[in-house]
Structure 1
Amino acid sequence: MSLPAYFISDAHLGVNPPGARADREKLLVEFLESICGKASHLVIVGDLFEFWYEYNDYVNRNHFELFFALRELVRLGCEVHLLCGNHDFAYGDFFPKSLGVQVHRSLVLEIQGKKVYFHHGDGVAKSDFGYRIMRRVLDFPPNRFLFKQIHPDWGMALARFVGRNSRKIGESREINLQEYLGWGASILKRKKCDVCIHGHHHISGIWDVEGGVVASPGEWIWKPAILRMEEGGLSLEML
């Protein structure tokens, strides 16, 4: 019998909006420690951090326990993947080189006889039009270089300010779940996959669609949740 696989999304570590679970990074580390040697895969489906940017000689010290837990998971044989989200797309080589965690924009894995497609889910909704433009601006190599010239403490403060304001705008936006389900069904057909797993809209669920299953682990800000795959079946667990 194969080991279970686990999927999580949208922890947004580094920010604590009103009502957020204050101990969620500690809870996440405890969860990672609990599955060491007991999981075949862990896929973090984007927005692990509220903001992430890598400097040549700087790593955010606030997340060291998380880094250690991820490295230990890898050391004990778990395949760990991290997807870029709309808040943390500026990864460099720290995760793959220092922790053994593979970083992707999107990903297809064969797990327990199922072909599974992973993507954060940003840019899917029509309401993400403005974000798609802004993402191209922020991810433009010369702009990333310029941001790198800012002192890390100032850069983080600026990013948190922008993130807080964009979150306020996003909270008033209505989620059209059918957009995501329709997109997921089209992905399954185009990629010839059985399952599509994404995050971004913070709604946890498992939905049958034409051609397979679309699922989302939900979020870790207010109601931490885990999507688990065992013997090819999916289940949700709230922590």
Structure 2
Amino acid sequence: MDLPKGKKIYFASDNHLGAPTSEESLPREKKFVQWLDEVKEDAAAIFLLGDLFDFWFEYKTVIPKGFSRTLGKLAEITDNGIPVYYFVGNHDLWMNGYFEEELNIPVFHKPREFSLNGKRFFIGHGDGLGPGDKGYKRMKKVFTNPVGKWFFRWLHPDLGVKLAQYLSVKNKAISGDEDVKFLGEDNEWLIQYARRKLETRHYDYFVFGHRHLPIDFRLNDNSTYINLGDWINYYTYGIFDGETLHLKEYGKKI
């Protein structure tokens, strides 16, 4: 993708709409929709890197109630010819065609490489990558197992969604009970993952979410790891002007 003059590419992640309750997340959703409305003016593309919802499961004829402002704004953006790309996160793994069919948004279930204005990007949500976190990796295999999804689908949505939301809100990063801090380059799994990828192929930027912490980390002279933070505590996003990618907080530069 080559950027037209004056256009930019935007990145955002980890909104967790619906958490801890629909009422409490509504102001955050309105703020995010306002951001979408502003960036569409000069956006060549928008990348959403997962966990837009705190829980999302697509039954054959039902999707979770709510989020009409966000879904409507995304439909408006794609209807106006601005491409939006979505990478599933660990809270919205169960996407199965709704975004593609209703919103014209391609959905990716694994990290993917993009060439943007001559720069090589490696983009994904970030969950389950790198060493460690073996417990989650085992759970993810269960969550994505076709048999497990089939059984869950047979739960009435009122029961299934309520159960999933209850378990999801127990996540301390969502409830605000955990102070997310930078662990140091030797303990940040995504930094280790990016460095291993660089052993076999050059990337200018690694862009992930999942950590709920804005990070701009120089891997070497030519490669940078960006973590987008979240729209719960930081309201941060990435903006690529064709030459450099940097983080901004909605309303001011960080």
Residue 8 in 1 paired to residue 15 in 2? no
Q: Is the 8 A contact 1:9 1:45 kept in 2?
A: yes
User: What SS does the aligned partner of 2:74 have?
Assistant: helix
Q: 1:97, CA displacement in angstroms?
A: 1.0
Q: 1:55, CA displacement in angstroms?
A: 0.8
Cα distance in structure 1, aligned partners of 2:129 and 2:97: 27
Q: 2:65 pairs with 61, 65, 68, which one?
A: 61
TM-score for both structures, normalised by structure 2: 0.85
Aligned to 2:183: 176
1:193-232 to 2 correspondences below 5 Å: 193-210=203-220, 211-232=222-243
Q: Is the 8 A contact 2:181 2:213 kept in 1?
A: no
Cα distance in structure 2, aligned partners of 1:33 and 1:161: 31
Q: Structure 1 residues 53 and 177 mapped into 2: Cα distance closer, same or farther (>3 Å)?
A: farther
Q: Is the 8 A contact 1:84 1:120 kept in 2?
A: yes
Q: Is the 8 A contact 1:16 1:22 kept in 2?
A: no
Letter in 1 for 2:90: N
Residue 44 in 1 paired to residue 48 in 2? yes
Cα distance in structure 2, aligned partners of 1:172 and 1:233: 29
Cα distance in structure 2, aligned partners of 1:115 and 1:22: 36
Letter in 2 for 1:103: V
Aligned to 1:82: 86
Q: Is the 8 A contact 2:55 2:164 kept in 1?
A: yes
Aligned to 2:147: 142
Q: 1:125, CA displacement in angstroms?
A: 5.5
Cα distance in structure 1, aligned partners of 2:139 and 2:66: 27
Cα distance in structure 2, aligned partners of 1:190 and 1:155: 43
Cα distance in structure 1, aligned partners of 2:103 and 2:18: 20
Cα distance in structure 1, aligned partners of 2:78 and 2:134: 37
Cα distance in structure 2, aligned partners of 1:148 and 1:203: 33
Q: Is the 8 A contact 2:51 2:92 kept in 1?
A: yes
Letter in 1 for 2:227: S
Letter in 2 for 1:183: Y
Cα distance in structure 2, aligned partners of 1:174 and 1:229: 25
Letter in 2 for 1:165: K
Letter in 2 for 1:218: G
Gaps of 5+ in 2: none
Tell which deviates more after alignment, 34-43 or 2-11.
34-43
Q: Structure 1 residues 173 and 234 mapped into 2: Cα distance closer, same or farther (>3 Å)?
A: closer
Moved over 6 A (4+): none
Residue 160 in 1 paired to residue 171 in 2? no
Cα distance in structure 2, aligned partners of 1:142 and 1:182: 33
Aligned to 1:109: 114
User: What SS does the aligned partner of 2:16 have?
Assistant: coil
Instruction: Give % identity.
Output: 27
Q: Structure 1 residues 88 and 77 mapped into 2: Cα distance closer, same or farther (>3 Å)?
A: same
Aligned to 1:72: 76
Tell which deviates more after alignment, 35-44 or 166-175.
166-175
Cα distance in structure 1, aligned partners of 2:130 and 2:195: 14
Q: 1:176, CA displacement in angstroms?
A: 3.0
